[in-house]
Structure 1
Amino acid sequence: MAPRQSTPPAVLACGEIRTCLLPARQALDIRSAAQLLGLRADERVLLSERPGLYARSPDTLTGVDCPLPSANGARIRAVGTVTAHAALTEGRVLQTSAHCRLPGSGPDQRRPWGEYLVRPGVVEPLGKLPHEAVAQGVLGGPRHGDLDVGLIADGLLTRVLRHPLLDQRPPFRSRPTRLRWAALPAALGEGPSLERFTLAEDELRTVRLRVPEGTTGAELAALCDDLALHDWLLTTVVRMLDGLRLGAGAAHDAGAVVRTLRPAVDHLLHLWMPGARVGLELAALWDPLEERPGFTRQWQALVQRIRDQLTLHAIPAAHREVEPAP
């Protein structure tokens, strides 16, 4: 057999993330988090207590052999493995993430499976990869039968949510979100850039990036996990405030306001730390989101609004509704 040739550099990386509230009445401590995310007996769960409690499962691999999504309708078959992991932030927010890298070209015929397994997280096209068209296809949503890393993230989420540690009694109602991302090569000599962040329908967000050659799939996944986490936090707190009856005319609903907003204080407000777990090479990609739409500015305004409302409703009604003197 001819010797195995080296794989060309990746010209596209893509992934998808699911983010949701852990369905448990109490946040899990670090030991319970390790039990929840112990997906493989041969590898330990990554645990961290700084800057906050964080647990990350070992990577799992899923073999794929299917066409790639493509905006121009091209049917490019690809074979390889998709990497996935689950993570828990402060014992409260659960994420599952699946991603892969694709080289610019591959062999004309399928290789033996063993050659794909030694390159985890690489999905190799048969022939040349039209990476721009595939990136558009990924972000636009795969057709039935195409490579769909979101299904892999979904499957891992379902597996984790069935764990007996979870009592299925979350402290408040929330919706999961999906973040789909694609990263293409940056121009020679240029640094990473965030080309587009889009809020789509059905809780979907899409992110298109440019990154220098040599940026690893793990680095990109860490960045996009972080974006997905903070987008979910913003989305969830906005929905808590949406529809609340506030103001003097809603005094009789004071109890409802406190019941609705207190979970944000108990479970969410301390989680805001954008970029805390992102590598230095990609940390600057948070800057465009801080400038416009201004993630942290919006978060700080929401936090202040929640605290103001809770303070206001802690004041006895007799003092809160003083009529001006004639």
Structure 2
Amino acid sequence: MLTLGEVHTGFLRNSTSVSRDRCAHILALIQGERVRRSERPVQYAVSPERLRGIDCRLTSASGSRHRAIGTVAARAAITGGHVLQGSAFVTLTGSTADRRLPWPHYLARPGILETLGKVDWNDLADGFLSEGHPPESLDLGAICADVMHEVQTSDHLDQRAPLRTSRSKLRWAIVMPRGEAIIQFGIEERGLRTLRLPMTGRDPADLADVCEDLALHDWLLTCLQGLIEGSDIGAVDRAQLIRRFGPAIDHLLHLWMPAARVDRSVWDAVERRPGLTRQWEASVNRIRDQVAAGTVALLSDAARTEARP
């Protein structure tokens, strides 16, 4: 009836790109379970899904209180050997017993929370996508943070990220729409993004792939724009600008491949309004122009120095 998810995105704490084999070791969060990997068009690895048992309240936009019991699926993914994502998602459905059952019942239904009592699914989706959540309510963000922390503390990492950037978080919900079935992407305060999707009947893990891909590219764009805004273009010399843009050129620019591994329908719908690709291309061109101008200035200075008697 309702699927909820959250994705956190940030740099892996390692100064260089992590190899495919090291990614597999880092993401082996469950002994004996396979880490899925792909090499084309960009290196990608994702951990096996791990379940977290939960008995919690649900946040609703109307303020009504509901209880849910079951398990949440969580996983971690590394893209390009540099970008780490923690992801948690769950499908909510009404309980047929309308009371708490023994845990074996919930363990037999992985990734599903059963709600007690009558609920309005759109009301729950609106509440989940809002910024403020009561402490006792469903907190997928905390699960994402736990998964990322486990990966970040791996002995395979040198704990030196190539750039100082903030994490971003994307909350998403899939529910039967009240009216027209449209995709809604929102840019909120404090790094929060929200995504509301109409129900399609697709597997929640596949939908999580799509949302993780969108979260990745929104984070890449946010990082690049933040770097440009903080670079003091026009106020510092060209050589200093080249040094400031170097890490982005080395670690970010080649990762922009939206919907390369997933269905394009969500990305295409989001692109109609915010125009993420147009922003990305404009930002990349601005960096390249500054680097080109800086290189010409440095070469001119070097030529004048050599020409002096």
Query: TM bucket by the smaller chain?
Result: over 0.9
Aligned pair count reads: 300
**TM-score of the pair, normalised by structure 1:** 0.88
Q: For 2:299 and 2:9, how far apart are their aligned partners in 1?
A: 43
8 Å CA contact 1:17, 1:96 repeated in 2: yes
Is 1:227 aligned to 2:214, yes or no? Answer: yes
Deviation at 1:50, TM superposition (A): 1.0
User: Deviation above 4 Å: which 4+ runs of structure 1?
Assistant: 317-320
The code of the aligned residue for 2:292 comes to T
8 Å CA contact 1:193, 1:285 repeated in 2: no
Partner residue, 2:307: none
Partner residue, 1:169: 160
Partner residue, 1:28: 18
Deviation at 1:86, TM superposition (A): 0.2
Partner residue, 1:122: 112
- Which blocks of at least 5 consecutive residues in structure 2 are unaligned? 302-309
The code of the aligned residue for 2:273 comes to R
Deviation at 1:104, TM superposition (A): 4.3
Q: Aligned to 1:203, which of 175, 180, 191?
A: 191
Task: Return closer, same or farther for 1:241/1:181 CA change in 2, 3 Å cut-off.
Answer: same
Identity level (%): 46
Q: For 1:129 and 1:166, how far apart are their aligned partners in 2?
A: 45
Partner residue, 1:107: 97
Deviation at 1:244, TM superposition (A): 2.3
SS in 2 for 1:124: strand
Partner residue, 1:291: 272
Residues 301-320 of structure 1 aligned to structure 2 (within 5 Å) = 301-316=282-297, 319=300
**TM-score of the pair, normalised by structure 2:** 0.92
Residues 1-326 of structure 1 aligned to structure 2 (within 5 Å) = 11-140=1-130, 141-186=132-177, 193-194=182-183, 196-212=184-200, 214-247=201-234, 250=235, 253-279=237-263, 283-316=264-297, 319=300
Q: For 2:34 and 2:51, how far apart are their aligned partners in 1?
A: 16
Q: Deviations over 1:42-88 (max 9, x none)?
A: 20111110111000000000000111111112221111000000000
Q: For 2:297 and 2:282, how far apart are their aligned partners in 1?
A: 25
With 223-232 and 66-75 compared, the bigger mean Cα shift is at 66-75
Q: For 2:152 and 2:292, how far apart are their aligned partners in 1?
A: 36
Partner residue, 1:324: none
Aligned Cα root-mean-square deviation (Å)? 1.8
